[in-house]
Chains A and B, each alone.
Chain A
Amino acid sequence: KQEVTQIPAALSVPEGENLVLNCSFTDSAIYNLQWFRQDPGKGLTSLLLIQSSQREQTSGRLNASLDKSSGRSTLYIAASQPGDSATYLCAVFRANAGKSTFGDGTTLTVKP
């Protein structure tokens, strides 16, 4: 059974700091890993998708890496801003299962 863990559960940083969010998974048989952002009371917004054959993806100030063999992914946020405050979730799409397993998320607060 696939398990996805996100550590830390909450993180508070001052504005301008670079930060890393972590995601680990137990079964390396995945098609892809996806990072999402969720604002309070809202749906999930897709940030980055990394295919199992890829090592990283970048979008603006965000960079996501994937090490499938060790079951780890990181989301790097450069020069954090108060508008980055949200809950960040990772999800792994399991091979031959047609469905994803989600972590519980990391709630990020960026203080002005």
Chain B
Amino acid sequence: SQTIHQWPATLVQPVGSPLSLECTVEGTSNPNLYWYRQAAGRGLQLLFYSVGIGQISSEVPQNLSASRPQDRQFILSSKKLLLSDSGFYLCAWNRGGYYNEQFFGPGTRLTVL
């Protein structure tokens, strides 16, 4: 069976500090990978998605970036965090193709002070 992991679970960072969030998927190969952000009381905002190693599509211009160094690893980064980067970050995957059921990780709660 497939499993998706995210770490850390919670993170408190000062403004201007760097960020690295990691997501890994087990039990499948060549998944599509997604990073979403969910602000308090609001819906999901797609940040980045990737259909393969080194292939990253950005949805929203911001100070965040994403990388996919391995097939089942997706990393969200920032060089300098802003207060507005606070939120709940969710990683998701699907198999691609016609049947595109999406599965989510447990999320990372980021607070920027």
Q: Which residues of A approach B to under 8 Å, CB–CB?
A: 31-32, 34, 36, 41-46, 49, 51, 89, 91, 93, 98-100, 102-105
Contacts and interface: CB of A to CB of B under 8 A. Distances in A.
B35 to A, nearest CB: 11
A29 to B, nearest CB: 14
Contacts of B90: 43-44
B109 A34 contact: no
Contacts of A104: 42-43
B107 to A, nearest CB: 5
24 contacts: A31-B98, A32-B99, A32-B101, A34-B101, A41-B88, A42-B106, A43-B104, A43-B105, A43-B107, A44-B90, A44-B92, A45-B104, A46-B101, A46-B102, A46-B103, A49-B101, A51-B99, A89-B43, A91-B102, A98-B32, A98-B51, A102-B43, A104-B42, A104-B43
Contacts of A89: 43-44
Interface residues of B, number: 25
Interface of B: 32, 34, 42-44, 46, 49, 51, 57, 59, 88, 90, 92, 96, 98-107, 109
A51 B101 CA distance: 10
Contacts of A51: 98-99
A80 to B, nearest CB: 23
Given A98-B51, A102-B43, A32 B104 contact: no
